[in-house]
Every structure is written in structure tokens, then in C-alpha cells.
Amino acid sequence: MSCSSSPFLLSFFLSLSALTLLITATKAKVPAIVVFGDSSVDSGNNNVISTLLKSNFQPYGRDFFGGQPTGRFCNGRIPPDFISEAFGLKPAIPAYLDPAYNITDFATGVCFASAGTGYDNATSKVLNVIPLWKELEYYKEYRRQLRAYVGKKKANKVLREALYLMSLGTNDFLENYYTFPTRRSQFSVRQYQDFLLELGENFLRQLHGLGVRKLSITGLPPMGCLPLERATNIMGQNDCVPEYNNVASEFNRKLEGLVVKLNKELTGMRMVSAPSYDIFYQIITKPSQFGFEETEVACCSTGTFEMSYLCSQYNPFTCSDANKYVFWMLFIQLKKLTKSSPTILFLLF
């Protein structure tokens, strides 16, 4: 989902029960932000691995600091960057594998995410990206480095009080389940949801075992409304694909259940699931209320099939004013962000 935005109504979301928890989390001091997930939150790890799924070239990053492409799948910054800034930390979270950074930088924020990955090992194999278990291995390595750098006691405090962000799952369905026959021959789509959530639960329990306490996990966006899905929905006149949206909302409901369960079961755990589906759906169905004009196609190239290398500055179809487009590539893009909206960002992300 999201290379995405927010100058909209805080009050609109005030009824959300998650908000109480979020506000509690927001007021507490956060010494670092640690990120796991896919392209919605990858700040450049794919640059240094051998995958075709990269974005370290123009026009990506054209609205980033200095117009630099960084490996973010976005024209500008991505949600974790804004969240980090909102907590008074760095304005951009460095990618763990980026050789330009070291533990000095990672001490206040680090990203292990990899575009194209998912909960399922098989998903990360599709485009040869970093599987979730490997993100966890990198996190363990990071913990050792942090302890060596600031001392054990201080490191443990940072790791315990840090805010952890986790965002993935879309690729498991779109890149894997609905694209290749293997998982479909093993699981019905409901069973596959449960399989993914089992993997998620396992991951979250491991994080808790390592001392993680504050975590925001993002469910699925209305993935039937992503440009590629609409473009291929010929029978449905390029409307959103209802089945994908239903699968996403159902998954999100199950995820919320899991979060409630784990908060009860795991001592000291304060997890929230960000209800991004509803917010994205609002933006997609009422774009003008949020200052967007185009929702059906993306800014990149023709805005339908292109990702990664095909989203190029040399492609004559790439739009000139990304601000009018809800989607930059396959994902929602972030418009201007005000400092006053960390909560919304949190929710969005």
C-alpha cells in the first residue's frame, strides 16, 4: 500500500478504538523506530540484493530530499519516515543493508523491509527478495551491534521502548496466491489467510520474546482497487475487483482478532492494528475530498502495469504532477504531510 497521504480530518477517525492506544504510544518517548515489511515501508534494502524489484532510479524519489531516488517505492518519503519525524527522530529511516549507513545512524531508526516480500517464504522467492525470517535475523544482528555501540543496558532500553512498525501481506495474495498455482492447490483463500496469520503470530511472538513491546501492524489495503488489479478487470469495466477487497477486509478482521488475543496473552505487549483499509477506501472512492483527482491509474508511465524498471523517467507517459494521483506506482502515494498529523499517519500506515 502506501506511498501515502494525510491532510485530512482527524475527527473523522476519533471514534476508532485503536486511537486510545495510539495516543498512549504517541505520548510515550520513542527512542527509535524499527521497521519490518514490504515495499510499503522499504527504504532501500532491495538496492543491494539481487532482485529485479528495485526503485533506485528516476523518477522514484523525485520529491524526496534533493530529488534523490533511494530505493523507496515512491516519489517522496514513505510513512515510517513521517512517523519518525513526528516523534522528533530523523526525517528518513535508513535501510539496514545500505552501505552508506552504520550503527550510528541505525541507533535511532532502522528499516529491514524488502519490497516484494510477504509472510509466506514462497512469496519472497517470487522476486528473490528478503524473506520475513531473514528480516528477523537482521534485527537480531542489529541488536548485537547496538549493544556493542551503546552498551548493553542502554541498548536494551532502546529496544524495549522503540516503536516497531510492520506492514506486509499484499504480495502474498497478489504476487503469489493469485498468480501461481502452488498455494492455490494447497489452500482455499480462507485457509491461506489463516496460514499467513499463523506465520504472523509466530513472528509477533518471537518479537515479544526478544523484548518488543510497542508495535503497529498494518493489514491489507483494498487490494482490488490497485491500478494493476483494475486494469486487468476487463469484465468488470476496470472497476475494483470485489473478491480481492473482500479477501482483504476479511484478513484484516482476523488480524484485529489476533492483535486483541496477543495483547491479552503477551505480558506488556501494546500492539495496534492500523485500520488502513477504510482510510484507503475513502480516499479511493472520494478522491476529491482528499485533494486527489486520479484514482484509476497511477502516475508512473501508463499507470496500469508498470512497476520497478518500467516506471521510468524516459517513459513518455509518466505524469508530471504526482500530487493529483492517488497512486504513484501500484501504491497510494503520500501527499504533503503536516507535522500535526502523526496519528493519522500511524493509522494510514
Ligand X SMILES: *[C@@H]1O[C@H](CO)[C@@H](O)[C@H](O)[C@H]1NC(C)=O
What is the DSSP track for 331-349? SB------TT-HHHHHHH-
- Residue 265 Cβ vs ligand X, minimum distance, rounded to whole Å: 21
Residue with cell 515512491: 74
- Residue 196 Cβ vs ligand X, minimum distance, rounded to whole Å: 10
Amino acid in the structure at residue 189: V
The answer to whether the beta carbons of residues 53 and 73 sit under 8 Å apart is no
Q: Of 14 and 100, which has the nearer Cβ to ligand X?
A: 100
Q: Of 71 and 94, which has the nearer Cβ to ligand X?
A: 94
In 187-275, which ranges are continuous DSSP H helix?
Answer: 189-209, 227-231, 242-265
Q: Of 182 and 340, which has the nearer Cβ to ligand X?
A: 182
Distance CA 158, CA 106 (A): 11
Q: Of 21 and 150, which has the nearer Cβ to ligand X?
A: 150
- Residue 159 Cβ vs ligand X, minimum distance, rounded to whole Å: 17
Residue 164 phi/psi, 5° resolution?
-105, 135
- Residue 42 Cβ vs ligand X, minimum distance, rounded to whole Å: 19
Closest by CA position to 63, among listed 340, 289, 299, 228: 299
Q: Of 65 and 133, which has the nearer Cβ to ligand X?
A: 133
- Residue 219 Cβ vs ligand X, minimum distance, rounded to whole Å: 20
In this structure, what C-alpha cell is assigned to residue 295? 484514482
- Residue 149 Cβ vs ligand X, minimum distance, rounded to whole Å: 6
- Residue 35 Cβ vs ligand X, minimum distance, rounded to whole Å: 20
The pairs formed by 296-300 with CB atoms below 8 angstroms and a separation of 24 or more are 296/227, 296/230, 296/238, 297/227, 297/231, 297/325, 297/327, 298/227, 298/325, 298/327, 298/328, 298/329, 298/330, 299/75, 299/325, 299/327, 299/328, 299/329, 299/333, 300/59, 300/328, 300/329
Q: Of 137 and 265, which has the nearer Cβ to ligand X?
A: 137
Q: Of 125 and 324, which has the nearer Cβ to ligand X?
A: 125
Enumerate binding residues for ligand X (CB under 6 A): 102-104, 121, 133, 149, 199
Count of C-beta atoms within a 10 Å radius of residue 209:
9
Residue 132 phi/psi, 5° resolution?
-60, -40
